[in-house]
Homo-oligomer: A and B are copies of this chain.
């Protein structure tokens, strides 16, 4: 980040984004997401050498939803290593994120750990490894972000009530023998994980290890091996945006992950991590303004890894 004044780039983008016509819509399948103010907008960029720049609602916590799948994946991968890939693939799905077609076709092995089915398998793996998987996941994330993480009980309970598609997915995988624990227990852990709340600032800090070869900059702790950090980035790049992963690679050129709460995290390996939050989603379920922001940030700073 040495040669570029990120804060002035940030200001420039904010200025230009004022004219961005946001046709997205806030997620409404649970009341807790529906009632978030659609105008919220926050950005936080953290450099691997400690630089920071930010704007807007970067300190306000929001529901990170599917972004949490990356934490769960990192924790499972750290503990299971390569054997994890006998349970879930690393290929992009090329299908809407809830599709059962592919899962049935591929005998209950989800294509990757960032679609719902794959994230459910990761949860199942963590339940098999840990006595208290919820505590372990919390501790892992808190270690990364350097502070306490919050889980939203209302979101958790609401998600559980609307669990039918995920219940279909997990029962199908159970029928194929790819879920080892009780389906209710796995769903419970999955929704718990999805109810995590973080601010852009916290998210950006928590993902910095993926920009820093698996090491937490603050504590210098090698959390996951360098090669595994790169591999998780590779998975984020090819699978992190449902049916828009190719477009994100094309337009932004950074590994990343989005959540239905309107958050997006992106990682520039060796340089920075950036979190952006804007609740209105495009047709593919990704933050419309967040996508646009990252496209502009990447273009103006030449950040694309390609």
Find out whether the CB atom of B238 lies under 8 angstroms from the CB atom of A253. Answer: no
Is chain A's binding surface mostly helix, strand, loop or mixed? helix
Give the residues from 235 to 269 in chain A that come closer than 8 angstroms, CB to CB, to chain B. Answer: 235, 237-239, 243-247, 249-251, 253, 255, 269
Q: How far is the CB of A183 from chain B (nearest CB, A)?
A: 8
Would A246 and B175 be within 8 Å (CB), given that A101-B100, A306-B230 are in contact? Answer: no
Give the residues from 76 to 101 in chain A that come closer than 8 angstroms, CB to CB, to chain B. Answer: 89-95, 99-101
How far is it, in angstroms, between the C-alpha of A249 and the C-alpha of B306 when the chains are bound?
Answer: 12
Q: How far is the CB of A199 from chain B (nearest CB, A)?
A: 26
Find out whether the CB atom of B168 lies under 8 angstroms from the CB atom of A164. Answer: no
How far is it, in angstroms, between the C-alpha of A101 and the C-alpha of B100 when the chains are bound?
Answer: 7
Indicate which residue in B111, B167, B306 contacts A234 across the interface (CB closer than 8 Å). B306
In the complex, chain B residues whose CB is within 8 Å of the CB of A282: none
Find out whether the CB atom of A249 lies under 8 angstroms from the CB atom of B237. Answer: yes
Indicate which residue in B168, B171, B227, B255 contacts A175 across the interface (CB closer than 8 Å). B168
Q: Please report A residues at the B interface, Cβ cutoff 8 Å.
A: 89-95, 99-102, 104-105, 111-112, 163-165, 167-169, 171-172, 174-175, 183, 227, 230-231, 233-235, 237-239, 243-247, 249-251, 253, 255, 269, 299, 304-306
